[in-house]
Structure 1
Amino acid sequence: MSNRLPVDHFVNDDGTDGWSTSPGGLVTALEPLMRASDGAWVGWPGVADKEFEPFENDGISIVPVTLSSAELEEYYEGFSNDTLWPLYHDVISPPAFHREWWEAYVRVNRRFAEAAAAVAATGATVWVHDYQLQLVPRMLRSLRPDVVIGFFNHIPFPPYGIYSQLPWRKQILDGLLGADLIGFQRIADAGNFTRAVRRLFGYATRGAAIDVVDPDGRPRRVIAKQFPISIDAASFENLARRPDIQERAKQIREDLGNPKTIMLGVDRLDYTKGIGHRIKAYGELLREGRLSVEDVTLVQVASPSRERVGAYMALRDEIELAVGRLNGDYSTISNSAISYYHRGYPREEMAALYLAADVMLVTALRDGMNLVAKEYVAARFDADGVLVLSEFAGASDELKQAILINPHDIEGVKNAIMQAVEMPKRERSRRMRALRKRVFDNDVATWSASFLETLTGGAAVQGGVPENLVSALRELSANETLLVALDFDGTLAPHVDEPDDARAVEGAQDAVKRLLELPGVRVALVSGRALVSLRQVADPADGVLLAGSHGIEVQLDDSGLEIDLDSAELEQLETLARVLERISGPVAGTWIEKKPAGLALHTRQATPEDGIGVQREAKAQVEELLPGLTIRDGKNVLEFSVRASTKGDALAQLREHTGADAVFYAGDDVTDEDAFAELGPDDLGLKIGPGASGARFRVRGPEEVAQVLALLADFRASADAHGEANGPSAE
């Protein structure tokens, strides 16, 4: 789902409607997936006041959503682009707040949600895109609780001090929290979002995980994390390699008078892009004599954007006045200071411009990503050219070999331009090769696959160990001290009806033993099981550290922590037992497991309907009679504890005890998300099976976990043999 469909409308000579596929990275990335999964794309067709029936286009079902001219003005030009856009871009331009616009936004979002609900198959995955549709996830969840919902925000998400200005701030957050996974361009954006959620809703957050409570009272885990978007890098390089494109690039240079240096800016005409800042910096360099129009020219492409919005009309006048003044002051008969074009160009012409340009200027004041920066890098198959990039664009998180600037610092921008113009060929090539590797390693297909794998899990998980996980394991193995922490049930052993019957799969036990024998490696089991049960599947005498009951009980080498409940806790435990026995007793297939600090209500052997009903009733009564009791949802289990602790707490304690430089954690359950949230950038999280997760990697089941642990043991043993386990890998 997106505001616009991936097709453009035109009228044939005979008056019938025609459709052509829109260019763009998102369409390119999702087209094969959509065709393979019998997918449907819901969006506005780009024509107001006209209804279109659903149709097929190149193997994809197209579901048009109708917008009236008034809705286009209020929902799109108004609330989306004159309220949300400036607010989310650091209030560079003042946002306008009008209740009529908000009402139109709600109405249109509901129409989109209803369209998706009508066409989505049972259990479908729905991926909602961008700030125009932020209410859709919650609306869709209320209409279709069976579907899996992802949302990706293509623009920044502002700090709370800015976001809090929005009169409908809670409604927007609640709309987004209807999703299972919310993606952002940058870590900072995800952090801004979770902080706003804590401030306005009080929900507990840990890293990327947010524990929400839906309107029906059911708790749910939402993941909010960064997924930096990219481009179809290979297609852009292939375009740039075409002889006609290269010939066109030469022609562009000749038409500009063959200057020594061509600088290029390519932007929508938008106040967030910092076009005026780059023109100011360039003009000052000309005035100071550090640059001359005989040697350097600036080509500025400013494609039309939102031309009916007042702020954009004023911006166009401002930019064109600045261009006119600069050209009037510095251009000669043979050389123009700035070649300015207020129009859009096809991809072929853009590729030629990228090849012709020696320096690419991206001076955005605030930008979610800025794909132009990545397009320039992808087009430069000659490993030449210099990228000057604003640190306020999301691309700066990845493209570290660009010359990074603060566009508000005009003196700094001037110095960066001079550095780019004067940079030796060898340094240009070194930087560009590094930039190209980054863009090609993380292209748009990788981005979409990463988001969907995190969202859908089981549908995307294949057998075996993915190649990127193998590389990550090799890198992890080189750390001096390594903690390997593992859930047991569902991770090392398949889930079974009776916990006492659980056994680690073939190969897992051998791999764990190998890891225990390697210097600098500690192994721990982190489980919801009571410590006494955990000792039945792992022997602390072998060196395995144990954390049971979600970290309430621990066995750390020679020390252990046993549960000693006080009288109030014992009384709570007795009340809890009476409540659960009364509710579960009459329902076949349910049973209660006693734990040192609580009880677990198991529903694995009950029918799905009975299991959901028993859990719902148990939760409601316990919350009423024993407010403040810790309640955790798991796979066919509801756990109650009179003491609060999570697997994340257990992992933090294990890390401190072992002094580990890096941590590997594997788990399959909702409760393991607390541990994944505890991991840092140098750690490795492995999710087993389906479901949205904060883990970076995923495998299908315990058999694959055994393979992963064996690989980790192999890499570690190899690193030890070569004396490489004393620092980071050279790779």
Structure 2
Amino acid sequence: MSREGVPLSTSSSVQDRPGEHELVVVANRLPVDSRTLPDGATEWVTSPGGLVTAMESVMRTIDSGAWVGWAGAPGEAPEPFDADGMSLYPVRLDQEDIERYYEGYSNATLWPLYHDVIVAPEFHRGWWDSYLTANRRFAAAAAPVAAPGGTIWVHDYQLQLVPRMIRDRRSDVRIGFFNHIPFPPVELFSQLPKRNSILRGLLGADLVGFQRESDSLNFLAAVRKLLGHHVDGMTISVPGIGAAPMREVQVQTFPISIDSSAVSALTEDPEIRERAAQLRRDLGDPEKIVLGADRLDYTKGIRHRLKAWGELLDDGSIDPHDTVIIQIATPSRERVESYRQLRDEVELTVGRINGEHAPLGRPAVSYQHHSFDRREMTALFMAADVVLVTALRDGMNLVAKEYVASRPDLHGVLVLSEFAGAADELRAAVLVNPHDIDELKAAILRSLAMPPEEQEEAMRSLRHQVMEHDVQFWAHQFLENLTASGSPEQEAAPVIRLTGDAPSDPVELDATLRDFTAVPRLLIASDFDGVLAPIVSDRDAVQPDHAALTALRRLSDLPGVAVALVSGRALADLDSHTEMPSSVVLVGSHGAEVGALPPWMQAEVLDKSALSMTPEAEEQLAAITTTLRRIARAHPGTEVETKPTAAVLHTRNAKGRGGINATESALEYATTLPEVTVTPGKEVVEFAVVHTSKGAAIDALSRASAADAWLYLGDDITDESVFAQLGSDDVGVKVGSGDTAAQLRIPDTEAARDLLRRLLELRAEQS
């Protein structure tokens, strides 16, 4: 991607080209920033940053790449667009999402917890809700755009739930996750509410990558202790939900880096060389310049560094006439209270040191609270005799590597915290424990006094590491290991044909119905709740649309038309609420129960053997029912329904957050039942000891009725098993919102009634 702006008005739209991208990157932010031009138009300018740089080189090697992320402004997201050969898919974040998902859960809960609780994390259940919702939004945007068998690479702590959410939609793709910040020891991670949900979210990936070996080991320990999964070396065996197969997840260490060659090349620019010399002159040509360049964050150790510097001045170990320190503190998260407090403390300390020690005309501490561009930073690195990277905890810290890449002259000294990820690679730096102020002071003095030949020896070693292992090496290494990890299912997941909630074009809908009704032999089938009857909290009080039921009855009387109702309800329950004649086939319990068949239907085609309950199945169903009732008792309003072959947890009437928590408990329990079919739906989780699905039921009914084509109306996730097997002449109609493999969408039960009436009208014309 170039550094030039990409005018929005001329960037090409990609919204009509989903499902074609070989590699999809998912990150909190898009790799571009918007900028308003004087004429009011918007252009997109490539963002600086290591991840953007890394992906630029990767994207050049593939046919089609995409990036999913937030565009940077609250409110409605722009339409997808192309920028410099990459397809960009913006995700909407409202102001409340920014406050609760990003500033709240991501940066006031996860960030401090993952950085060794340097500042106490805040736990708010409402923040978790927003984090969950935002992660769903990112996953929903990313899942449809990957090509069959493609790769999706998710980045960082803001999106830890996304890998599993994508896997639930796309079992055919490879999924990688890389955590750019530390992962805490299990003793700290255990404090996190919803900790198991975070772990299961990450384990949706085939490969989970971390900056340091210690982070990888911390994650493995958390999975072993909190989830009880089997861990063999760096491989985790992840049980499926119910009868879903077990998967293996690889955990590996991939230290991120920088575009080393590009940074080093900047040092040859005459303007940057002159700027470095000018910086020394502006500071009064001191003998030594010490530089700290950090985001203003409590993890970076700025307060500890200033304390050490102040003490060195106090005890006369440093002469402010000879030595000056520049402290860059780039603004960061200034809406968060702990960051505002940190700024006040830092600026108060700087003011005190300068008030006590600064010579006339020169600061003892040159404090800069603003951002610097890449060229200016390179000049600062070239001017600095010592750079202090003394973070209290850091995933990597690329400032250390940028300084090394900026010193092809082999001069300068890097003081590096042993708690920064870079310390694992840059062993020739002066390593220090920044919590130990005396040790930090000694490291600074040692660095200021280091002879040129010792500087050269250390810098030569550091540059070899940084120049050989650049950010492109990091990205390609991760993707190569991801390609070797896991084994996507040969059968691609159902293609998501429709997203959102916009109904299909009425003209298109009517034309499809007209073509369908012209087929000689038809099967017309429908779900019940949410399609023929509005969803109600009391399942027994359901009120079906009688006009819709009448249309189905009349359709079943027409020649060449078979009609069926396929529901998750028990057969007897479905029968009592519909009172259908024998010409309409009733299928209950997601296909486990089949009612009376019309005499002309080939009953032998339907597999009755699947409906038999063995004593072992009866015993297992009883045990499942007992456990679900125990879960229901812990979450008031939650109910358990028993069926001949299944038990169902209903959470529609759960109090407060009980529905979310009960569902989570049920799905966790499901991982212990390898022989059971577990089907999450709308505020329900069904555990069936007989393996059936609505899709299998429709397939059997279609064959039994010798249908040339079938039409199905459904509103729930359980109906997707039907839409997944649509043939060229079949018609799937999604009722309501949500991603679906159906080709058509209608808004509600009233529209479903009108559709059935239209089918009746059109088919009658054929008779």
Please give the TM-score of this superposition, normalised by the length of structure 1: 0.63
Indicate the residue corresponding to 1:417 in structure 2.
444
Q: Does 1:42 align with 2:68?
A: yes
What amino acid is aligned across from residue 11 of structure 1 in structure 2?
T
1:249-648 to structure 2, matched below 5 A, reads 249-457=276-484
Q: Secondary structure at the match of 2:149?
A: coil
Q: Deviations over 1:268-299 (max 9, x none)?
A: 00000000111111111111111110111100
Distance change >3 Å, CA 623–CA 146, structure 1 → 2: closer
Q: 2:265 aligns with which of 225, 234, 238?
A: 238
Q: Distance in 2 between matches of 1:51 and 1:406?
A: 44
Q: Does 1:69 align with 2:75?
A: no
Q: Distance in 1 between matches of 2:65 and 2:71?
A: 17
What amino acid is aligned across from residue 131 of structure 2 in structure 1?
Y
Q: Deviations over 1:104-162 (max 9, x none)?
A: 00000000001011211111100000000000000000011111000000000000111
Distance change >3 Å, CA 292–CA 147, structure 1 → 2: same
Indicate the residue corresponding to 1:173 in structure 2.
199
1:74-153 to structure 2, matched below 5 A, reads 74-153=100-179
Quote the offset at 1:624 in angstroms.
Answer: 6.6
Q: Distance in 1 between matches of 2:673 and 2:35?
A: 61
Q: Distance in 1 between matches of 2:417 and 2:403?
A: 15
Q: Distance in 1 between matches of 2:672 and 2:399?
A: 56
Q: Distance in 2 between matches of 1:55 and 1:341?
A: 37
Distance change >3 Å, CA 218–CA 422, structure 1 → 2: same
What amino acid is aligned across from residue 257 of structure 1 in structure 2?
G
Q: Distance in 2 between matches of 1:164 and 1:251?
A: 52
Indicate the residue corresponding to 1:22 in structure 2.
47
Q: Distance in 2 between matches of 1:251 and 1:15?
A: 38
Q: Secondary structure at the match of 1:158?
A: coil
Quick check: 2:241–2:673 contact (8 Å CA) kept in 1?
Answer: no
Quick check: 1:401–1:434 contact (8 Å CA) kept in 2?
Answer: yes
Quick check: 1:390–1:404 contact (8 Å CA) kept in 2?
Answer: yes
Q: Which runs of 5+ in 2 are unaligned?
A: 1-25, 487-670, 677-767
Q: Deviations over 1:361-382 (max 9, x none)?
A: 0110000000000000000010
Quote the offset at 1:17 in angstroms.
Answer: 2.0
Q: Deviations over 1:492-537 (max 9, x none)?
A: xxxxxxxxxxxxxxxxxxxxxxxxxxxxxxxxxxxxxxxxxxxxxx
Q: Distance in 2 between matches of 1:347 and 1:184?
A: 26
Distance change >3 Å, CA 14–CA 335, structure 1 → 2: closer
Q: Does 1:156 align with 2:182?
A: yes
Q: Distance in 2 between matches of 1:448 and 1:198?
A: 28
Q: Does 1:212 align with 2:243?
A: no
Quick check: 2:249–2:485 contact (8 Å CA) kept in 1?
Answer: no
Q: Distance in 2 between matches of 1:248 and 1:282?
A: 26
Distance change >3 Å, CA 622–CA 458, structure 1 → 2: closer
Q: Deviations over 1:292-331 (max 9, x none)?
A: 1011110000000000000000000000000000000000
Quick check: 1:3–1:43 contact (8 Å CA) kept in 2?
Answer: yes
Q: Secondary structure at the match of 1:82?
A: helix
What amino acid is aligned across from residue 399 of structure 1 in structure 2?
L
Quote the offset at 1:18 in angstroms.
Answer: 1.1
What amino acid is aligned across from residue 63 of structure 1 in structure 2?
Y
Quick check: 1:2–1:43 contact (8 Å CA) kept in 2?
Answer: yes
Q: Distance in 2 between matches of 1:621 and 1:299?
A: 58
Q: Secondary structure at the match of 1:151?
A: strand
Quote the offset at 1:16 in angstroms.
Answer: 2.3
Q: Does 1:32 align with 2:54?
A: no
Q: Which runs of 5+ in 1 are unaligned?
A: 460-619, 626-731
Quote the offset at 1:89 in angstroms.
Answer: 0.3
Please give the TM-score of this superposition, normalised by the length of structure 2: 0.60
Q: Does 1:196 align with 2:186?
A: no
Q: Secondary structure at the match of 2:299?
A: coil
Q: Secondary structure at the match of 1:299?
A: strand
Q: Distance in 2 between matches of 1:413 and 1:446?
A: 33
Q: Distance in 1 between matches of 2:213 and 2:120?
A: 25
Indicate the residue corresponding to 2:609 in structure 1.
none
Quote the offset at 1:71 in angstroms.
Answer: 0.6
Q: Which has the larger radius of gyration?
A: 2
Structure 1 stretches of 4+ moved >3 Å:
620-625
Q: Distance in 1 between matches of 2:672 and 2:359?
A: 83
Q: Deviations over 1:72-97 (max 9, x none)?
A: 11000000000000000000001011
Q: Secondary structure at the match of 1:161?
A: helix
Indicate the residue corresponding to 1:187 in structure 2.
213
Quick check: 2:58–2:472 contact (8 Å CA) kept in 1?
Answer: no
Q: Secondary structure at the match of 2:33?
A: strand
Quick check: 1:274–1:363 contact (8 Å CA) kept in 2?
Answer: yes
Quick check: 1:241–1:381 contact (8 Å CA) kept in 2?
Answer: no
Indicate the residue corresponding to 1:55 in structure 2.
81
Q: Distance in 1 between matches of 2:56 and 2:429?
A: 31
Quote the offset at 1:335 in angstroms.
Answer: 2.7
Indicate the residue corresponding to 1:9 in structure 2.
34
Q: Distance in 1 between matches of 2:77 and 2:160?
A: 24
What amino acid is aligned across from residue 360 of structure 1 in structure 2?
V
What amino acid is aligned across from residue 304 of structure 2 in structure 1?
H
Q: Deviations over 1:410-463 (max 9, x none)?
A: 00000000100000000000000000000011110110011000001399xxxx
What amino acid is aligned across from residue 90 of structure 1 in structure 2?
D
Q: Distance in 1 between matches of 2:302 and 2:165?
A: 39
Q: What's the % identity of the aligned pairs?
A: 57
Q: Secondary structure at the match of 1:312?
A: helix
Q: Distance in 1 between matches of 2:419 and 2:440?
A: 13
What amino acid is aligned across from residue 16 of structure 1 in structure 2?
A
Q: Secondary structure at the match of 1:281?
A: helix
Q: Distance in 1 between matches of 2:475 and 2:434?
A: 30
Quick check: 1:230–1:439 contact (8 Å CA) kept in 2?
Answer: yes
Aligned length: 465
Q: Distance in 2 between matches of 1:97 and 1:211?
A: 30
Q: Distance in 1 between matches of 2:675 and 2:47?
A: 55
Quote the offset at 1:28 in angstroms.
Answer: 1.4
Quote the offset at 1:37 in angstroms.
Answer: 3.0
Quote the offset at 1:215 in angstroms.
Answer: 1.9
